[in-house]
Structure 1
């Protein structure tokens, strides 16, 4: 069974370190606060409780889908089976999925220099999953109390994992709760490094939001896990902030407008006029763009365009892959690209487009 919550989380006070955090004080000590959680009565170690999963939006449903379809163990003996036993490993579990759509996308907070507010949202996500109370509808005057608390929390957002998992772990420790917190980064890193032999060289590329890239979460986790796995090869890590891609997937008018047929003033994506996200006319032929159906907007003609703007998800993917490959190619002693991590839960919905574009760019 799955319970999906699309909620508006209250409040906007800035927070700092977890030990001096006013929101945490409200949760743990102020019993007249909406956020108060009586941890002394928390049903610890109850296997019947649900697994909680949260993301900034519905992209995290891709993570939930993987969990629901996972079949790597024998459900009777609990032993690992590479081909599974034909039964989903979590067939007897149920899940509560929280999509914080009121405050999405989490990946933009670092660009606005507002990671403190993002950390607050992450703590509120955690509090919601741990608590029993919720509002079924916006207009409800009083909360309900029939939601089960969770036994485990999966942070299905790369940015939230990179920016806030340590805070969530610290909160659990301070609250005295034995609730396991699992971040998405460690699982992705493990999968990427499993592709390397002990002495193999190569490159791991990370396509992520600006917030995840700025956090340095993936390079740090890759380096740490590489040492733990005793891999001896030269493994390079390159990150590409997929600015505009998640917005285009969500249909944000700042990045995409299917009805447009000419360059738009409100556009904030890559362009030959955008110095922060340059679309380089000097290598225009290298981008595997789809030029039909107004997927690219520009003035002039295709051979000599100006005010060039991307207007499809497919072309955002093409742009960011070429930008990534350019960075790898022009680095000192580049290594072959071995793995590409789609480190935003929006991106896997377009995994086939990524594969197609990588095939087109394989001889780059």
Structure 2
């Protein structure tokens, strides 16, 4: 086990691509005083169709990298990484790396909010194939709300639409409408839909256009941000290890210019970006 660093550091936010920027944006709205490092493994995205073993390998490399940058806490702002790698990293790797550091995911905080968001007790999840296959959402919901039924629908084209800046184009309508109809055909009592991928908020206007008005759409950002604020309040020892200068650093494993263009589209502000290599 490595010796614990006592120097305060930034909060790490990791995603396979750009979707985690929607989480980072909400976190910074709620907790603007903290420092952050955002790392996008864009060169190896998307993770959604990759094996459990490869997602775990890539995610662990990213977590170790962020720890080396001084992070005491890393948020996996990626549902696929949370579904396929989080538990292994928490249980197997953290005790060997540094048991005082933390890696948190986005699935549990989202699930914790579900009980207040459905009246019928029937909830849909739209996510990548990897997240749906993992059954992470039904398993987590069953732990907290065994009375709630969960129905999943993989949306394999949604991430490519976002990553290729087609999310607001007419071509996206076909895929969004088709996948929503497939989900709702599973059960007509569904009254809440979790967007189980951090890319999907970019498609929110189209999702709402093809979803009946009585169904609540649940993007994750607000719930993750509130959960992190609560976590830091309950763990003052971890909060003390988080630097507070209001700084944010953006890193990518792909082209700086490509990341900068896409990230600025997501965030609506100019940013500086640095390219890094994970191994």
TM-score by length of 1: 0.55
- 1:127 aligns with 64
1:187 CA displacement: 1.2
1:160 correspondence with 2:97: no
Q: Is the 8 A contact 1:317 1:354 kept in 2?
A: yes
CA distance in 1: counterparts of 2:182 and 2:60, whole angstroms: 34
1:356 to 201, 209, 212: 209
Task: Name the structure 1 match of 2:131.
Answer: 212
Paired residues of 2:155 and 2:179 also in contact (CA < 8 A): yes
Distance in structure 2 (CA, Å) of the matches to 1:337 and 1:161: 24
- Trace 1:294-333 onto structure 2 (pairs within 5 A): 295=170, 312-329=171-188
Report the equivalent of 1:94. Answer: 35
Unaligned 5+ segments in structure 1 are: 1-27, 29-38, 71-89, 132-147, 228-233, 259-292, 296-311, 330-335
Q: Which runs of 5+ in 2 are unaligned?
A: 216-279
Q: Equivalences for 1:1-364 in 2 at 5 Å?
A: 39-40=2-3, 42-44=4-6, 46=7, 48-70=8-30, 90-109=31-50, 114-131=51-68, 148-169=69-90, 170-196=92-118, 201-226=120-145, 234-251=147-164, 295=170, 312-329=171-188, 336-359=189-212
Shift of 1:210: 0.1
Structure 2: distance between partners of 1:249 and 1:52: 23
- 1:232-269 CA-to-partner distances (Å, cap 9, x unmatched) read xx4210000001111122239xxx8x9xxxxxxxxxxx
In 2, the alpha carbon distance for the partners of 1:149 and 1:313 equals 40
What is the rounded CA distance, in whole Å, between the counterparts of 2:130 and 2:104 in structure 1? 19
| Structure 1 contact 55–157 (Cα < 8 Å) conserved | yes
Q: As a proportion of its length, which structure holds more helix?
A: 2
**1:4-43 deviations in Å (ceiling 9; x for gaps):** xxxxxxxxxxxxxxxxxxxxxxxx7xxxxxxxxxx22x31
Aligned residues of 1:50 and 1:94 also touching (Cα < 8 A): yes
SS at match of 2:194: strand
Q: CA RMSD in A?
A: 2.4
TM-score (normalizing by structure 2): 0.71
Contact 2:94 2:101 in 1 (8 A): yes
| Rg comparison, structure with higher value | 1
Task: Please identify runs of 4+ aligned residues in structure 1 that moved more than 6 A.
Answer: none
- Alpha-carbon separation, structure 2, partners of 1:353 and 1:50: 35
Shift of 1:360: 7.1
Kindly state the Cα deviation for residue 361 of structure 1 after the two structures are TM-superposed: 9.4
Q: Which has the higher contact order (CA 8 A, sep 6+)?
A: 2
Give the paired residue count: 214
